[in-house]
Every structure is written in C-alpha cells, then in structure tokens.
Structure 1
Amino acid sequence: MADEDVAPQQGELAITRTGDRLRLAREAAGLSLADIATRTRVTQRHLQAIENSEFSELPGRTYVTGFARAYARALDLPEAEIAAELRRELDEDEYGARPLYEAYEPTDPARLPTARLTWTLVIVALLLVSAYGVWRFLSVEPDEALIAAQNADADASEAPAAATPAAGAPKAGAPNAAVPANAPVVLTGLSEVWIGFDDAAGKTENWRTLDAGETYEVPAAYIEQFTLRTSRPQALKITVGGRDVGATGPADTLVKGISLKPADLVARAEGSGSTATVPLPKAKGASARP
C-alpha cells in the first residue's frame, strides 16, 4: 500500500516543466514529434528543445512562447496557460536576460586582424620602395650600346691620346710635387653624371652613375690601373686631398684619359694636364646622356 502511494507522488513530481507536460500529452495522444511538426509547421529540433526545456537552443523568448502555444494548440491544450507557465520558467531560469535573436553575429573587435593588417601594409610598402629603387638604378645606367658608341668615337677621333700615358705628369719643381701619393681622390656628382674607368687600352672596364650630391672615393687599385672618362664634365667635381682640380673638359663633351694619380690631378688644376675630348654623337637613335 505504501508503494502505491509513493508512485503517484513521484509521477507528479516528475512533471514539473512545461516541456514534460507537452511531451506526455503528445505521447498520450499517440503522436510523434513529426506529427506535431506537421501540424504546427515548427521544426522537430525546436519541438524537441521545448520538450527538454532546452530554451538556449531556441532563437529567442518570443519564438519559445510562440512555438509552445502552437504545440499546445495542436494537442487541444490551453495555449494561454501553457504560454504563462513557460514564461514563468523562463524568468526562473533568467532566460529573459538573453538578447533577442540576431540574424548575424556581431563582430568582436578583439578578433579583428589589426596587427596582421598593419604588418601586411608595412611589407607592401617596403616592396614598393625596393621596386622603385631597382627601377631608379636601372633607368639611370647607360646601356651597352651607348658605352660602345662612346668608346668607338673616342678611339677613332683621339687615338694618339691613348698612346700618351704621361700626358698629365707634373712638371719638375712644380708645387704639386709635394702632393702625397696616397692623397684621397674623391668624385662628387654636381648633378646626375655617368663615369667610366678605362684600362690601359682605353676600354671601359667599370662604370657607375653618381646622383647629385653623391660622393665616391676612388679605390687605390683604380688609381693605379685606370683612367677616368665621363660624358658630362660640368656635372663632375674631382678633389685631391680636399683640393678641387676644376673642370675636366667642356660641357656635354666626352672626356677620357684622365689620370687619377693625385700628382697628375693637381697638375691639371695648375694647367699642365691634358685630356682627350670628343663631342657626343647626336644620331643613331639614342642621344648621349644629358
């Protein structure tokens, strides 16, 4: 007798949620969740969440009560009463504080790739600067055809000059005799200027371009082995131990055979040096460098 009294009490205590009440009513009517879904047009997943009181699986408070009313109506249960009980349960579960369903996920500022974006922009900027530097370097260098034309014109017009290696030798007793043999020879670009270094046969072995204000100290090996040539003498300044030796030739004229030895350069400054000069060609489809 005691067991019979306890069983109903346990059954009544088990039905404490609105979802349980709906589920028991459905089972008593011999209906499946699929049947209720057909009648209410609510997905089985949402109906199952209502039966299990898993309200966090549903879109929002309004949807929860709406689905529950439709469920109760399909079973001929008092839908207003079911909705009131469900709202009470939501309040007890503090479910009412949950924001309404949003159709999109708000962007979390902490997840924005600001650092990655910043580094990407820095890398792109560095690549652009490097590309510009390469383009600048390549765009100011004379091509091989221009170098060959300058060599050919100079050799054809001033062949005897190449056979006079001592043209810039200092005079005996001249003030330049005291110039140290290791005095630094520095080339400075007054504006963009091309310079070449010729071997003993008068052929350009090495060349480079100086930008305005750029300086280049001639290596000791170059001073001994090469002579200097340039196509824009007015754009090149030569100093020996800080002393300016003056212009190497007329403006916009190819000059070559300039001895780089300190004593010879000082002799040039005193008017005792000589240089081969050749007017630059104006035809052949490529003009000389300005």
Structure 2
Amino acid sequence: MLGDGLVKANQAHAWFIFLCGTKSPVTANPTGSEIMRSISNTAELSGNFTPIFVSGSPRSGTTVCHGMLCTSPNVNDYIAECSYLTGMLDNIEAAVNNPVHTEGLFGSIDGFSDLAREQISSFVFNVWLNLGSPQFLAFKDPMMLGTFKWIHEFIPRAKLVVTVRDPFETIASYLSVDKKLGVEITDEFVAHRSTEYANRLLFTKELVSTKPDQTVLIHYDDFFTGAYKSKFKEISDDIEVDESRLWESQYVPEMPQTAWVTENHRKKLSAVKRSQPDLTSNQRSIVEDIASAIYAEFMGDI
C-alpha cells in the first residue's frame, strides 16, 4: 500500500510538471520550488489527458452540459460536483489576496503559488487515476466560475466550458431553489440574485476575450436544438456524445434528493418539459432592470 502511494505521488508530481510545461533539468540538491519546476521527460508518466471544467450561473444548464459530456466514451462517467476543488481554489484566492498572511510562510506569493499549483495538479491527476484514466476528465460546479482564472494559470491546457441561459429562466429557477431552502424572496433578494447573474456574465465575457482558445460557451437552448454537439467539437473533435447514455454512471447511480434537484433531473432531453419563468411582474421588472441589458449585450458580442 505504501509503495502504491509513493508511485501515485510520483505520478502526480510528474503530472504537475507536464501540466505546467516545465522541462528544465533537476539540480543536484534542488529546493522545493526547483523540484516543482524541473523534472525532465516526465510527460509519459502522467498520461495524456485533457481536464474539462464546466461552470456557469447556477440553474443555467451546467448539470445537463456536464452530463451530456460524460456520455462520450472517452470522457469519465457522470460524477458529482467538484465542490472540494472549488473550495481549494477559493482558499488559494484568499491567500493571494491576503499576502501579509501568506508571504511569511512561503517567502513570497510566488512561493505560495508553487505549492498551490502542485496541490491543484495533484488533485486533478489523482481523480483522473481513480476514474479510470479517461482521455478527457470532466468536472462541474456552478460555484467555481470565478476560480476559472486560477485554473487557467495552474492548468493552461484545461478547457473551460461556461453555460449561459436567459436571465428570467435562470433567476426564476434559482429562486425556486431558494424557496425550498426557506429563503424569504424579497425584492432585495431578487435584486441580489439578478446582480450575481449579471456579474457572472461580465466575468464570462472577460474570460472569452482573454482566453478564447480555452473557453467554450454553450447556451441552454443548444441542448434542445442539438447545437450543443457542434459546441462540444470546440473542446475536441474526439468528443462523441451518445444521448442514450445520459445520466449513466458507476459513480452516481442515483441522484440525491436535495432542493437543487428538479423534476427534469435524470430525464432524457426529449422528455424535458420547459416551463415559463415563475416570476411576479415586479420580480420580472427587477430582473429586466439589472440583468436583461447585460445579457442582450453579451449575446450580441458572442
């Protein structure tokens, strides 16, 4: 068991080097940073796979997007959300934003970044091993969108998939979850959710402009028109989805019943019924004032 652990640790270390593209030789007595920056000829130890991260506004179609990606035979089976990884990335941002709490421990922010980069790479690699070493490793968490800037920095070869949906549909669906969780839906809260939605669109717009080769946008409507298949080809020509396999998984045999689960979960796309957003006229006005213009501009730009 210990030997297996050492092998996995060394493989994870090699994957870190492979992800970061480091090829410089190891010194005779390397420091921790030099070890992380310099192992030669290790790409073959890491395997050759592409991490895919799916995110977007909550209730914008991230689950069906991830589920459909996972129907391709060269992608891992459908798995639960990667909230643990999102938490790791959130903690990294907190550390970087509080250098007075970080620099003394690692000598500099760069020293901390080296550690953070290896931690994230090791996590991704170990999940890849545990899921059978697929050609594509697909993660999903709607709450991780803001961390995509760190994923890009730590794993430059990863693909970032962002789902987008009409603001009225998205926010109405999100509010329905809030109601189930016992939240009082005041006008102020609707404005809060609308502002969150708008900010996520603005972040996505910047992501597309700064990382166009890495970012793929998919609209919720694409899953009902079939256009999502061509969008998946922007990830790789090797992605071949099979709608008949949607939700098949050895890792998530049953969908947990939570406030986030709707009647459409575990249904085939052909059986999904789309409904009109359940918003009062006043709530629609709030969404209109805060989010609609940003959505229209965003759709026009892409």
Q: Give the TM-score of the pair, scaled to structure 1.
A: 0.18
- Which has more radius of gyration? 1
Higher strand share: 1
TM-score normalized with structure 2 length: 0.17
Larger helix share, 1 or 2: 2
